[in-house]
């Protein structure tokens, strides 16, 4: 137990990482990071002030000419070394992530940390493959080509649900393309973003390329979004805050990338493998204690399978072991905070008035009573327009609803404001193909739900936002394409000048 907390000593110098070193914030407010498994404080730090943001932006601005002027190969080498340091630090990073977010160590060790190392290795390679249209004489009289250029200082804001991965998804494509960055993590989970930036410095990425300001959204976040020296805002978080971020960013005409909320449908057709669908629904709704923007939240099940699906999902949910994130037998940890647990419980309590809570629907007592735990919960009998079907709950809660025709299943799946992810469960290739075409989402899985890979884009549509994280597509957000055009005629009176000079 003692050893586990020693890793927190790494942050003894403060929670602001500016110009390649840790230091305290200069605001007059402190924040204590709470371990949600026990309710105990694990680290108290002074929050960033707007002056700290100014300093971080200045550090990023100063680092930009050198970093953007490095060759793609040099940036790639540095990011490869970065992946190596992350691998060396993997155990500490996983421990810190589990402590601050309550994630089972199994999840951080097998998913969050290796996923981030793989993202880093991917962007080390991708840094050498920025692409554009071929240079050519498109007009006949000119040679045209495109330059894909870094933008400058990026200001990013990340949520608490995957603190490490969300920081990595923002930072990696930005720096691989030659930008420098200031990232604001959620103030309740700043620690692995700091470790990530510290690992970059250890790997030789120059000071100022990655800066972290740990502070409040309203003060520090808005100051970063509105900062005149920040050229782009990349935000991952809720749709409500995303709208506010867009408003502030518009005042300084910033490029915007918004990864917002989700309410993913999970559509089970009547020819599906019931056992696979039930396992898939339980794993995909409970991953990260349901605090996953792509989590399965609404299972639409064609009527002939509905009762059997509900019975099997309830049985599997009841077998999931809720407990201490550091115990090897734990499947599900607490929610990230007591506020989030209470918010989830509120949705379920209100649903009791209009729907049936089939299993779960309570916080466990006993040894777990001091943590922000909540049992896996299945709800049936809710109408399509009810709160639990339409709103993002962001907890271990799945709602199951029946449908009759294929048309109806797809129509109901699309009937929320969100469009981040969806899945279709069927053995029929025509049904599957139709679902991939007609489900309105940034990602559609067939006979699975959740896996992500570095090579493929992640991002939503509708109220889930716009722009892509991961993959080469993310470079569309973090670079600008400049058209360069050379005259090849060397004549004074060019053909197109007739628009001004006529036949003179």
Q: Binding residues for ligand NAD, per CB under 6 A? A: 157-161, 166, 184, 186-187, 217-218, 221-222, 225, 236-238, 241, 244-245, 259-262, 293, 392, 394, 420, 460, 464-465
Q: CB 191 → ligand NAD: shortest distance, Å? A: 14
Q: From CA 153, how far away is CA 459, in angstroms rounded?
A: 22
293 as an active site residue: the answer is yes
369 contacts 375 by C-beta, under 8 angstroms: no
Q: CB 65 → ligand NAD: shortest distance, Å? A: 28
Using alpha carbons only, what angle is made at residue 342 by residues 339 and 345, rounded to the nearest 5 degrees?
A: 155
Q: Looking at 55, 222, 259, 477, which residue is catalytic?
A: 259
| Secondary structure of residue 142 in the 3-state scheme | strand
Q: From CA 446, how far away is CA 424, in angstroms rounded?
A: 5
Nearer to ligand NAD, 178 or 217 (CB): 217
Nearer to ligand NAD, 130 or 421 (CB): 421
Q: CB 458 → ligand NAD: shortest distance, Å? A: 6
Using alpha carbons, select from 107, 123, 83, 185 the residue that is nearest to residue 470: 123
Q: From CA 457, how far away is CA 477, in angstroms rounded?
A: 12
- Write the DSSP symbol of residue 136: B
Sign of CA dihedral 354, 359, 362, 363: negative
Helices 191-202, 163-176: inter-axial angle, 10-degree rounding: 40
476 as an active site residue: the answer is no
Q: CB 154 → ligand NAD: shortest distance, Å? A: 14
Nearer to ligand NAD, 89 or 160 (CB): 160
Q: Looking at 55, 97, 222, 293, which residue is catalytic?
A: 293
- Write the DSSP symbol of residue 178: T
- Closest residue to bound ligand NAD by CB: 217
Separation in Å, CA 445 to CA 55, 391, 433, 452, 502 = 43, 22, 11, 10, 60
Sign of CA dihedral 238, 165, 15, 59: negative
Q: CB 445 → ligand NAD: shortest distance, Å? A: 15
Query: Rounded to the nearest 5°, which phi and psi values hold at 236?
Result: -120, 125
Q: CB 239 → ligand NAD: shortest distance, Å? A: 6
Nearer to ligand NAD, 245 or 272 (CB): 245
Which of the residues are catalytic?
259, 293
């Amino acid at each position: 137990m003692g050893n586990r907390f020693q890793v927190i000593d790494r942050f003894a110098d403060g929670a602001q990482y500016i110009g390649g070193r840790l230091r305290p914030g200069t605001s007059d407010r402190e924040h204590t990071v709470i371990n949600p498994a026990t309710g105990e404080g694990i680290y108290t730090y002074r929050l960033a002030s707007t002056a700290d943001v100014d300093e971080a932006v200045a550090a990023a601005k100063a680092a930009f000419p050198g970093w953007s002027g490095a060759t793609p190969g040099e940036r790639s080498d540095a990011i490869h070394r970065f992946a190596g340091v992350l691998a060396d630090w993997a155990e500490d990073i996983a421990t810190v992530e589990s402590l601050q977010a309550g994630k089972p160590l199994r999840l951080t060790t097998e998913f969050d940390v290796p996923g981030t190392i793989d993202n880093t290795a991917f962007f080390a390679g991708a840094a050498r493959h920025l692409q554009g249209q071929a240079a050519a004489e498109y007009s006949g009289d000119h040679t045209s080509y495109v330059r894909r250029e870094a933008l400058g200082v990026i200001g990013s804001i990340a949520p608490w649900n995957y603190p490490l991965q969300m920081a990595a998804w923002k930072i990696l494509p930005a720096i691989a393309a030659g930008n420098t960055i200031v990232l604001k993590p959620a103030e309740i989970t700043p620690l692995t973003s700091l470790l990530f930036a510290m690992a970059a410095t250890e790997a030789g990425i120059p000071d100022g390329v990655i800066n972290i300001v740990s502070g409040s959204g309203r003060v520090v976040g808005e100051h970063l979004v509105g900062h005149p020296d920040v050229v782009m805002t990349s935000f991952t978080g809720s749709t409500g805050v995303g709208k506010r971020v867009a408003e502030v960013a518009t005042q300084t005409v910033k490029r915007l990338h918004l990864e917002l909320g989700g309410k993913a449908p999970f559509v089970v057709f009547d020819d599906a493998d019931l056992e696979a669908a039930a396992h898939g629904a339980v794993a995909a709704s409970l991953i990260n204690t349901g605090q996953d923007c792509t989590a399965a939240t609404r299972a639409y099940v064609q009527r002939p399978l509905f009762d059997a699906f509900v019975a099997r999902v309830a049985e599997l949910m009841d077998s999931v072991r809720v407990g201490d994130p550091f115990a090897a037998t734990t499947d599900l940890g607490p929610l990230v905070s007591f506020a989030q647990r209470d918010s989830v419980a509120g949705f379920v309590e209100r649903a009791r008035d209009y729907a049936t809570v089939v299993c779960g629907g309570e916080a466990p007592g006993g040894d777990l009573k001091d943590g922000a735990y909540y049992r896996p919960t299945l709800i049936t009998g809710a109408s399509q327009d009810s709160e639990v079907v339409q709103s993002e709950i962001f907890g271990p809660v799945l709602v199951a609803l029946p449908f009759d025709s294929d048309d109806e299943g797809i129509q109901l799946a699309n009937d929320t404001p969100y469009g981040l992810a969806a899945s279709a469960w069927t053995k029929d290739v025509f049904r599957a193909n139709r679902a991939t075409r007609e489900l309105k989402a940034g990602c559609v899985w067939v006979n699975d739900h959740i896996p992500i890979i570095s090579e493929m884009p992640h991002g939503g549509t509708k109220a889930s936002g716009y722009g892509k994280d991961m993959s080469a597509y993310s470079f569309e957000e973090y670079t600008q394409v400049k058209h360069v055009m050379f005259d090849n005629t060397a004549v004074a009176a060019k053909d197109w000048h007739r628009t001004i000079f006529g036949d003179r």
